Amino acid sequence: MRPHKYLLFLVLAGLLLAGCGRVPLTDRQQLLLISDADLEQQAALQYTDLLSKSKVVPVTAVDEKSVVRVGSRLAKAVDEFVREKGISANGTGYKWEFTLIDDPQTANAFCMPGGKIAVYSGLLPVTKDDTGLAVVLSHEIAHALARHSNERLSQTLLVQYGGAQLSEAIKNNPEQTQQNIMNAFGIGANVGILLPYSRAQESEADRIGLALMAYAGYDPHQALDFWTRMAQLGGSGMPEILSTHPLDETRIKDIKAEIPEAMKYYRPRT
């Protein structure tokens, strides 16, 4: 091995060793190459920028109060959950924020690193009540707790590095050959690496979210009703292998199998 390549190997090995983490509850090992502090700082800026360009529902509105009420209950449960169960220190110290964006045409929600969560008002007819909101918010909280954004970016960096190395290796080939090889690499990396990881993270967020909502006092069985209603909205019709999310039937089947585990953490509200 050439000296410069040996040095590069050592640097990459160091990154891999230093950047390994484990997901709370599932204990899955993950690759984390980016500083959480840097990622959360950028996420906070992006979140503020997005809200400045969106129609945010006032904190005095009934629907916003519901989002904040359920979100605050879940956030409190997260800190208690990770401490009491000794699962992980991740998530404690997050400055959770819950915002409702007035957009009746969008049935979606998202969570940025560090616990910045937004729900679009188009999702409320599907959530219907506090328990339905708990399904959504616990799923988004689980993404933050599991540091999925960091993991996705880390995977993308590795794929980009692999692409750069491949491009260098084939630079003496005819231009059309290079293009064909790089196109094949891009499709293979997306379908074979990035999309499967994305689907795995969505399923993982479902599993962790069920436990969190149960611990906060919401019946995880209600998650089946919520995702059934979401399925009735209709999806893209895209094959699962080309999707960032599991198919509705796959998701509902998996959640049904995971409810017994979540019920171990159930603390009925008093």
Q: Looking at residue 67, what is its pLDDT?
A: 96
Instruction: Decide the pairing of beta strands 29-31 and 97-101.
Output: unpaired
Residue type, 256: K
Instruction: Decide the pairing of beta strands 20-22 and 29-31.
Output: antiparallel
Percent of the chain with pLDDT over 70: 84
The alpha carbon torsion through 29, 216, 206, 157 (nearest 10 deg) reads: -40
233 φ/ψ angles, rounded to the nearest 5 degrees: -70, -20
Q: Write out pLDDT tens, residues 126-158.
A: 999 999 999 999 999 999 989 999 998 888 888
Q: Write out pLDDT tens, residues 200-212.
A: 899 999 999 999 9
166 φ/ψ angles, rounded to the nearest 5 degrees: -65, -45
User: Which is catalytic among the residues 97, 140, 202, 258?
Assistant: 140
Residue 140 bears catalytic tag: yes
Name which of 108, 104, 106, 116 is nearest 50 in CA terms: 116
Q: Looking at residue 235, what is its pLDDT?
A: 61
- The crossing angle, in degrees rounded to 10, of helices 130-145 and 148-169 is 50
Going from N- to C-terminal start, the domains of the chain cover: 31-150+194-263
Residue type, 202: E
Q: Write out pLDDT tens, residues 142-199.
A: 999 899 999 988 888 888 888 888 888 898 888 888 888 888 877 776 666 677 768 8
Query: 164 vs 151, 168, 176, 246, 264, CA distance in Å?
Result: 20, 6, 17, 30, 47
